[in-house]
Structure 1
Amino acid sequence: MPFINDVLEQNQRASGTLPLTHTSRFRFDPQQVMTLLRSRIVGQGAALDTIEASLMVIKAELGDPRKPLAVILLMGPTGVGKTETVRLLAEAIHGKADALCRIDMNTLAQEHYAASLTGAPPGYVGSKEGTTLFDKTAIEGSYSAPGIVLFDELEKASEPVVRALMNIFDNGQLRLSSGTATLDFRNSLIFMTSNIGAQALWTYQQRQQQGWRKLLPNPWQLRREARLIDQALEKHFTPEFLNRIDQRLRFQRLGDEQVGQLVSLALARLNQRLTRHGLELVLSPDAHEWLGKQGFDRRYGARSMTRAFRQHLEPKVARWLLDQSGAEAGEQLLATLAPDGIRLTLVHPAQSGSSA
C-alpha cells in the first residue's frame, strides 16, 4: 500500500537529503512479539522460528510491495495453537487479540455463499452497497502496523472462494463484484489454518507406535509425516494455489512433555479473569498433576485442558465466589486434591482459612 509518508521518505533518500540507513516504518519489535508467542504457544518451536524470520523480513521492508506482506499456511491437528498464534500476533502488534479480520471458511463451504466474500454482483440485492465479510480497517492496518487477516479452516472453502484468494495472493488486491470498491491487502499479514491431513497423520502415528515400526529412525518418520501432509494438500488444492503460499508451517501434536505447561497456561488465563475479583488461584502440586491427567488428550490438544478446567475447577471457584464475602488483599485461593475432587481453601498471609 503506497502510504504517503513512505513515498516522501523514498523521494528524500533518492535526492540525498536522508542518510542511507534503514529505519522501518513498522513500530513492532519482532523479538517482543515472539516473546509473547513463545510464552503462550507450547511445543511449536520450529513454526514460531519461521514466523519470527517472516516478521524480520517485514520489519526490514524487503518484501514485494505489489503483494501481501506474507501469506502463511498453518497446518496441524485441532488444539495445537494455530488460531491462537494469529490472535497473539494481533495482540502483540495492535494491543488487542481481536484486532484482525477473521473469516471462518466453514461459512463459505457452499458456492452460493462466495458472494459474502466478494460482494453481490451487479443486479443482485446489495450490489450497490458493496457489502462483504472483510473488515477493511483490519485488513489495511496503518502506516506503522500491518493488517492481519485469518482464513480459518481453509479446506472447507468452496472453489470460487479459493480462486478469490489466489487473486489476493497474486496482486494484493480484491475488486468487489459490484465494481464499486477495491480491498487492498498489500499491507496485510495473511494467515490460513487447516486441519487437512491430520486424520491420516494420526492414523499413521498410531500405527508407527506398534511392533517393529517404533524402531524406525525419527528423521525417517518425520519425512514420512511431512509427505503425508503434502499429499493431502496436493490432493485438495491446485498447484497454482499452493504455489502462491509463502510458508507452510506444520504445528506438531502436543505430547506428555507439554502437560505441565498447558495446566500453567490455563491457570494463568483463569487468574486473569479473577483479577476483577481481587483474587489469585494457586494449585497445589497434587491438584496440578491431577488436572493435567484429566485435561490432557493427545488427539484434541489444548482444548481438552480448557474443558477440564471448566468441568473440574471453574464451577468450584464460581461457587466459592458466590458463597463468600470476598478475599482480603494478599490472600490466595488454594486448590488442593481431595477424595471427592478439587477442594478450595482461602489462604491468609500467615494462616489458613476455611475450606469451600
Structure 2
Amino acid sequence: MPFINDVLEHNREANAQKSHADAASQQRLTTSRFLFEPKVVMQHLRARIIGQEAALGEIENMLNVVKADFSSTERPLSVTLMLGSTGVGKTETVRLISEAIYGRPDAFCRIDMNTLAQEHYAAALTGAPPGYVGSKEGTTLFDIEAIQGSFSKPGIVLFDELEKASTEVIRSLLNVLDSGTLTLSSGSKTIDFKNSLIFMTSNVGARQAQSALNYFSRLPKPAQRLCERLAEQWGKSSQHVIEKALHQQFDPEFINRIDRILHYCPVDQHWLPQLIDIELNKLNQRLRKQGCHVSLDAYAIALLSRQHDIRFGARNLARKFRTQLEPVLARFILKHPLQKKLLIGVKHRQLSVMAHPVDS
C-alpha cells in the first residue's frame, strides 16, 4: 500500500506540473503570437548602442506594444524615423534588432534610398507601369519574404538615408506607411507590410546642427553649457535645427504617417572608452578562429581616443581600428603565430603589439 500511495502521489505531482506548464504555455499564446522578448532585444541593443538612451527607450516602448499584440491590423506594426548624423548607431540599431529576433543581422529588407534619387526610379519600388519593359514580371527591389516575416516574427524593413530619395519615391511610400500595402504599378501583385516593423533613417539637418556643435566645442565647458541652454530656449538647439530641416524636406502628409521620430545624439569623447571596448570585442570574436585574444593597455586606449572627430561618430573609431591597430596586429600574428595572448600598447607614439605577460 505505501508503494501504491507513493506512485499515486508522484502521478498527481506530475499531472499538476504538466497542467501548470500547459496553462503557462496557453497564457503565452493568448498574450502574444510573437516569440521575441523585448527585454532580450533591448539588452542586445544597450550592449552595442552607446549614448542613445532616449532613442532606445522609445524603441523599447515600440517593442512592448508589438509584443502585446494589439496593434492595428490595418497598417504596419510600427513606423519609426531615426534622425542624426553619420556613425551614431541608426542603421546599427536595425541590424541588432534583426540579430536579436532572427539570429542574424541581415534578416531584413534594406532599401538604400540614395540609389533612388531620380523621379523615374520610383519604378524600382513599385515596378514598371503597364506597357513598359518588365511590367509583366512585377519586379521590385523589395524582399517580400523579409518584409512579411512570419506568424511568430515580425518582418523588418529599413529605408536608409531617406532624404536622398526623390519626391516621387517618397510619395510612393505614403500608402505603405498608411495602410500597410503597396500595389505594384502592373496591378499584378500587392505587397503586405502589415506584419512589418518599418524603420527609416535620415541625416537631414545634421550638417547644420553639427556646425553649432563645432562652435560650442571650442568654448570652455561652463560657456558650452550656457550656450546650449540659451540655444534650447531660443529654439536653436540641435534637435530644433534638425526638426526644422525635417519639415522643410518632407511634406506634412508624409511626416504625419510616422509613429516615432527618434533623435540620435552625436558621439562625444565621453563615450569613447565604451565604444573602444565594443570594437575590441568584435575584433576578438573575429580572432577566435586563430585562437588569439587581444587586450589594450591604457596608453593604447588613450591613443585611439585622441583626435576623435565627432562628425563621423563611432565609424571614425572603427576606421582607426582597421587602419592603425589591425595592420600592426596582423604583422605580429604572421611573425609570431604561436603567440595567442596579445597586449597592445604604445611605443614611439604608435600602437605596438607584444605577448601578454604570463601571470605569475
Change (3 A) 1:19 1:99: closer
**Per-residue deviation at 1:182?**
0.9
Identity of aligned residues (%): 50
Aligned partners of 1:23, 1:118: CA distance in 2, in Å?
A: 36
- Partner in structure 2 of residue 311 of structure 1: 323
Aligned partners of 1:237, 1:217: CA distance in 2, in Å?
A: 27
Within a 5 Å distance, the mapping from 1:2-41 to structure 2 comes to 22-41=30-49
- Partner in structure 2 of residue 71 of structure 1: 79
- Partner in structure 2 of residue 221 of structure 1: 232
Q: Is the 8 A contact 2:119 2:166 kept in 1?
A: yes
Kindly report the root-mean-square deviation, in angstroms, between the aligned alpha carbons of the 2 structures: 2.1
Query: In the alignment, does 2:214 pair up with 1:172?
Result: no
Query: In the alignment, does 2:125 pair up with 1:117?
Result: yes
Aligned partners of 1:326, 1:87: CA distance in 2, in Å?
A: 35
SS at match of 1:301: helix
Change (3 A) 1:291 1:206: closer
Aligned partners of 2:27, 2:100: CA distance in 1, in Å?
A: 30
Counterpart residue identity of residue 224, structure 1: K
Aligned partners of 1:38, 1:285: CA distance in 2, in Å?
A: 24
Aligned partners of 1:273, 1:46: CA distance in 2, in Å?
A: 31
Counterpart residue identity of residue 284, structure 2: N
Change (3 A) 1:230 1:95: same
**Structure 2 unmatched ranges of 5 or more:** 1-25
1:43-63 per-residue CA deviation (whole Å, 9 max, x = no partner) reads 000000000000000000121
1:8-56 per-residue CA deviation (whole Å, 9 max, x = no partner) reads xxxxxxxxxx889942000000000000100000000000000000000
Change (3 A) 1:149 1:19: closer
**Per-residue deviation at 1:205?**
2.7
Query: In the alignment, does 2:257 pair up with 1:244?
Result: yes
- Partner in structure 2 of residue 14 of structure 1: none
Change (3 A) 1:340 1:201: closer
SS at match of 2:204: coil
**Per-residue deviation at 1:326?**
3.2
Structure number with the higher helix fraction is 2
Q: 1:260 aligns with which of 226, 248, 273?
A: 273
**Per-residue deviation at 1:265?**
1.1
**Per-residue deviation at 1:350?**
4.3
* TM-score using structure 1 length: 0.88
Q: 1:320 aligns with which of 326, 332, 343?
A: 332
Pairs aligned (count): 330
Change (3 A) 1:321 1:208: closer
**Per-residue deviation at 1:321?**
2.5
SS at match of 2:311: coil
Counterpart residue identity of residue 303, structure 1: R
- Higher Cα Rg, which structure: 2
Q: 1:334 aligns with which of 330, 338, 343?
A: 343
Counterpart residue identity of residue 339, structure 1: H
Q: 2:356 aligns with which of 332, 340, 347?
A: 347
1:254-277 per-residue CA deviation (whole Å, 9 max, x = no partner) reads 111101111111111111111111
